[in-house]
Amino acid sequence: MSDMTDTVKISTKNVDVFYGDNHAINDVSVDILHNTVTAFIGPSGCGKSTFLRCLNRMNDTIDSCKITGDLLMDGEDIYAKSVDPVQLRAKVGMVFQKPNPFPKSIFDNVAYGPRIHGLVGNKTDLEEVVEKSLRRAAIWKEVKDRLHAPGTSLSGGQQQRLCIARAIATAPEVLLMDEPASALDPIATAQIEELIDELRHNYSVVIVTHSMQQAARVSQKTAFFHLGDMVEYGDTSTIFTNPVDQRTQDYITGRFG
C-alpha cells in the first residue's frame, strides 16, 4: 500500500440516480483515489453496479435513467455537455460481470479499442499494443500462439482476462470492474485478483464485488452500499475491522446479505 496516493481521480458528490420513479441511488458521495483499488460492497440490489456505471456514463444507454449530483474526473464534470461519452469511456475502461469477448479473434478483440480511437498509426505499433495489453492482463503466454483463434474459444477465466486486456488496450486512466470474478472458479479468481493488484500501479481500479474476502484481499478503500445509500466509506482495513455503522458491522459479519 506504499504507492497509494491521496490524489483524487474521480470525485462524486450528492449523486442521485432514478430509473423512472425508482430512486436507485440516494445522495452518494465517494472519492476514487489515484492508483488505488476501491471496492464497492453490499447486498444485491443495493445500487453499487448502478453507481459504477455512472462513472463512465454507461447508464446513458438506458432511456429512463436520470442522474443528478456532481461527478468530476480530474476536476472536470463527467456529465458536462462538452464531454463526449465515447471519449470518456476510452479513459474509463470497464470489465463486466460475465466475460463478453467479441466473437472475433483474440487479436481483434484487443485491437478493436486502439483501432476505433486511432491510438496507433501502423500495424507494428498495433501488434505491440496488443501484446503489451495481453501481457499486462497476464494472458499473453496462454494465447500468443493462437492470436487468431476466436476469443470465445477460451475458458471463462481466460475470457475475462482477455476482456481486461481489451479494456486496458485503450490506455484508460480508470478501470471499472463489475464483479469480474463472479463467474469464475477459485483459481481463475486468484489470477484475476493478482492481476487487479498489478493494475493498481497504473490505474485507479474500482471493483464491485459480492465477496467480502475479495474486497479485503484486493482493495485499499471500501465503500459499503445498502438500499441505495452509501453507508460507509473508508480504508478497507478500517471497514473490515472496525466499522462505524451497525449495518456495515452486520453485513461483514454475515448477519444479512
Please identify which residue in 14, 87, 242, 246 interacts with other proteins, judged by CB under 8 A.
Answer: 87
Nearer of residues 46 and 95 to other proteins, judged by Cβ? 95
The number of C-alpha atoms within 13 Å of 233 and in the hemisphere containing its C-beta is: 15
Q: Which of 42, 47, 113, 180 binds other proteins (CB under 8 A)?
A: 113
Encode 110-133: b = buried (16+ Cβ within 10 Å), e = exposed: bbebbeeeebbeeeeebeebbbbb
From the list 86, 79, 74, the residue with the least C-alpha distance to 54 is: 79
Instruction: Determine the Cα–Cα distance for residues 183 and 198; give it in Å rounded to an integer.
Output: 21
The window from 15-23, 43-51, 166-174, 245-253 that contacts other proteins (CB under 8 A) reads 166-174
> Measured between alpha carbons, how far is 25 from 17 in angstroms, rounded to an integer?
5
> Is residue 94 involved in binding other proteins (CB under 8 A)?
yes
Q: Any contact of residue 96 with other proteins (CB under 8 A)?
A: yes
For other proteins, the binding residue among 12, 158, 170, 204 (CB under 8 A) is: 170
Site for other proteins, residues 129 to 158, rule: CB under 8 A: 152
As measured in angstroms, the least distance from the Cβ of 216 to other proteins is: 27
What are the angstrom distances between the C-alpha of 247 and each of 57, 64, 253? 29, 30, 10
- Using rule CB under 8 A, residue 44 touches other proteins: no
Neighbours of 60 (CB within 10 A): 15
66 is a site residue for other proteins (CB under 8 A): no
Q: What minimum distance in Å lies between the beta carbon of 61 and other proteins?
A: 6
Q: What gap in Å lies between CA 242 and CA 256, rounded to an integer?
A: 18
Query: What are the residues binding other proteins (CB under 8 A)?
Result: 56, 58, 61, 63, 86-90, 93-96, 98, 100-103, 112-113, 116-117, 152, 163, 166-167, 170
